Amino acid sequence: MNLGMLKLFKLFIISLFIQNLFANTQSFDFDFIKKGIQDDNTLLIVGGIQGDEPGAFMAASLITTHYEIKKGSVWVVPNLNFYSIIKRSRGPFGDMNRKFAALKMNDPDYTSIQRIKKYIKSPDVKVILNLHDGSGFYREEHIDWSHSPNRWGQSSIIDQSNLDIEAYGNLEDISKEVCAYVNENLIKPKHYYSVKNTHTKMGDKEMEKTLTYYAINNGKAAFGNEASKVLPLHERTYYHLVALEKYMKIMGIEFERKFELNSLAVKNVINNDIYISFYDEKIQLPLSEIRNILKYFPIKKDGTLEFTPSNPLMTIIKKNGTYMIHYGNRKLASLKPDYLDMDHEQKTVSINIDGEQKTVTLGSIIDVEKSFEIEPLENFRVNIIGFVQKGKKDESGVKVSKNKILKRYSIDRNGKIFRVEFYKDKKFAGMILVNFDKNRKMREDISLASSKEKSVTTSL
């Protein structure tokens, strides 16, 4: 191969590589969620610019799912670099927070950067918060490696003290006010917050490339909020939320939170209030205690998997024939597919639950204390996964108690939630989950109420 041909071959390989990078990241576009009533005093919250900082993107996500904005306007991007979140990486294609000064069009992050710049420059946006989890504990004087001016954790970041704009230009005063508020609500005294001024325009070449400095240069008040990476996830998230609430109060934004703001309550919300539904809610899975692997999971014959997550940090990725449910940095479960045709007609079934006849919507989770019995449906077959009765292919019309279902077939690690599948001829019609855990609150009204904004399809 001559030199000219070799160069063409290298260019071809590089082109294919770049195309593959774009293809890999297309399905991980970030969410943009508006809350409240849009006005010209909007707060823009950004989380997930670096995928190895889960406290930041978890806090932003909770604002979208567990806060109601009663007065004012809040825009939230909870997963700006979603691909890096899934990969548990600071940035698979380089640090996204160093790409706001200059960026080539063939950079895989280019489209996301251009899109977030548009929201930053919106005339409605007056304050921008970029959330991070930072190293150690920022301290004005050197104490040790973990507590020094070189650390970032537990700090409110500003690029400069003041900005000549109509509103919120007193950056340092606002930052001090936020720190004082956080310090009134510390889990431990040693977690205290301080203002860190990077004095970016004085020649900090790295900070000149950041999102906040881009915002400053476009006449917007911008702050970074850093929780320490030393802390566990729920404590980082807690501190972000405390700071976020203070910024909202400073801006006159009124809100209602759906949980008490303490670290244990935050931990409970992060770990337990998570669901995902499939195919227009024909299937619903609670994910807090989900098994690592669910076998023979109904998937459309063409391989597409339509799903609606309960929060924007959740997605499903198909790899090597398995569908993997991701929640932020965590892989929750793998679905081993059973490829089927789908029936779209049947919506409800009749079930006797502990002696009481009820009409149940497919996709529901029913709480059972002792037993249940599915009323037979013409042309339908019922399959209770883990229940075996010789000679019966249709398991409707049979009274079933928990001790008659094999525990290893439960969808949860506690062995208390089981699948009941419905088929019309050979088509999958839907699923109901039977919950035998009387201490578990399966609230159907909360399962997907906050997640209607995002419906996704994973395909071949």
Q: Counting runs of H as helices and runs of E as strands, what totals does the chain give?
A: 9, 27
Kindly tell me if the per-residue pLDDT of 21 is higher than 90: no
| Second CATH level (architecture) for the domain 3-270 | 3-Layer(aba) Sandwich (3.40)
3-state secondary structure of 375: coil
Q: In this structure, are residues 270 and 310 in contact, taking their beta carbons and an 8 Å threshold?
A: no
Q: Is the pLDDT of residue 438 over 80?
A: no
- Where is mean pLDDT largest: 236-245, 269-278, 340-349? 236-245
What's residue 441's pLDDT?
53
384-394 confidence digits (pLDDT tens): 999 988 777 89
The least confident of 10-19, 109-118, 261-270, 431-440 is 10-19
- If we measure between CA atoms, which residue out of 320, 257, 327, 237 comes closest to residue 286? 327
User: What are the sequence ranges of the domains in the chain?
Assistant: 3-270, 273-458
3-state SS assignment for residue 326: strand
The pTM assigned to this predicted structure is 0.89
What digits encode the pLDDT tens for the residues 102-143? Answer: 999 999 999 999 999 999 999 999 999 999 999 999 999 999
At 437 the pLDDT is: 85
Closest CA to 223 of 172, 147, 151: 172
Alpha carbons 302 and 105: distance in angstroms, whole number: 34
Q: Tell me which of 23-27, 101-105, 358-362 is least confident.
A: 23-27
The predicted-structure confidence for 178-219, as pLDDT tens digits, reads as follows 999 999 999 999 999 999 999 999 999 999 999 999 999 999
pLDDT band at residue 446 using 50, 70 and 90 as cut-offs: very low
Helical axes 233-250 vs 263-272, angle rounded to 10°: 110
DSSP-assigned states of every residue in 50-83? STT-HHHHHHHHHHHHHEEEEESEEEEES-TTHH
Alpha-carbon torsion, ordered 188, 191, 194, 199, to 10 deg: -170
